[in-house]
Chains A and B, each alone.
Chain A
Amino acid sequence: GAVVSQHPSRVICKSGTSVKIECRSLDFQATTMFWYRQFPKQSLMLMATSNEGSKATYEQGVEKDKFLINHASLTLSTLTVASAHPEDSSFYICSARDPTGDTEAFFGQGTRLTVV
């Protein structure tokens, strides 16, 4: 089945630094990928839709300048948390759907970001 790989799985960074998270579709081309954030004991909150070759679409309340999304190829989307602060600490998950396959999306393993 389709596989989505996310890297790194865990990162600790200092406040004020930037962190890049990669999301790859391993055996299919994804024109669209999605980035989610999950707070403890809460739902997956959609942050943005990453579109290959064009600008990402951000959900209301998500800072575009803080969460930079680049979808430079059909198999790779990156999320950069710019000038991270402790309140950005969270679990970030990407997903993608094989447009030639079934409707279900596949999710990466998630990235636990801790900003100290």
Chain B
Amino acid sequence: DQQVKQNSPSLSVQEGRISILNCDYTNSMFDYFLWYKKYPAEGPTFLISISSIKDKNEDGRFTVFLNKSAKHLSLHIVPSQPGDSAVYFCAAITTSGTYKYIFGTGTRLKVLA
């Protein structure tokens, strides 16, 4: 049972345009969400996070939006840069538990120069 899903396995965007990566979850107990970026043969690196009490968090070019009623979050990258090309994973946790991270299946973003 996939509790966190990223339905788009890949996305191509032109440099300078906006990249929108989507993530859906099923477990209503999740109360904290994170986005990680991963290059091949490396561990994921943290990008941005959002608590379930918020609906938006912004950090530079990265903004995460959370729609709790729809159990949906998205990561916006604007403007997109070629260096943003990587696989992006969303993750969800329940902070009252063991902080066990549940990851989505990932979306491969390719930013075209």
Does A105 lie within 8 Å of B101, measured CB to CB? yes
Interface membership of chain A positions 74-92, coded 1 if the CB is closer than 8 angstroms to chain B and 0 otherwise: 0000000000000000010
Q: Look across to chain B and name the residue whose beta carbon is closest to the beta carbon of A36.
A: B103
Does A46 lie within 8 Å of B101, measured CB to CB? yes
State the majority secondary structure of interface residues on B.
loop
Bound Cα distance A49, B34 (Å): 19
Bound Cα distance A65, B104 (Å): 27
Does A103 lie within 8 Å of B100, measured CB to CB? no
Does B98 lie within 8 Å of A110, measured CB to CB? no
Q: How large is the interface on B (under 10, 10 to 19, 20 to 34, 35 or more residues)?
A: 20 to 34
Bound Cα distance A41, B105 (Å): 8
The interface residues of chain B lying within 8 Å CB-to-CB of A105 are: 34, 46, 99, 101
Bound Cα distance A111, B107 (Å): 22
Residue B60, interface by CB 8 Å: no
The minimal Cβ–Cβ distance linking B75 to chain A, given in whole angstroms, is: 14
State the majority secondary structure of interface residues on A.
strand
Interface membership of chain B positions 92-113, coded 1 if the CB is closer than 8 angstroms to chain A and 0 otherwise: 0101001111111110000000
Interface of B toward A, CB cutoff 8 Å: 9, 32, 34, 36, 41-46, 49, 89, 93, 95, 98-106
Task: Kindly list the 5 A-B residue pairs having the minimum CB-CB distance in the complex, ordered from nearest.
Answer: A107-B43, A43-B105, A44-B103, A104-B46, A110-B43
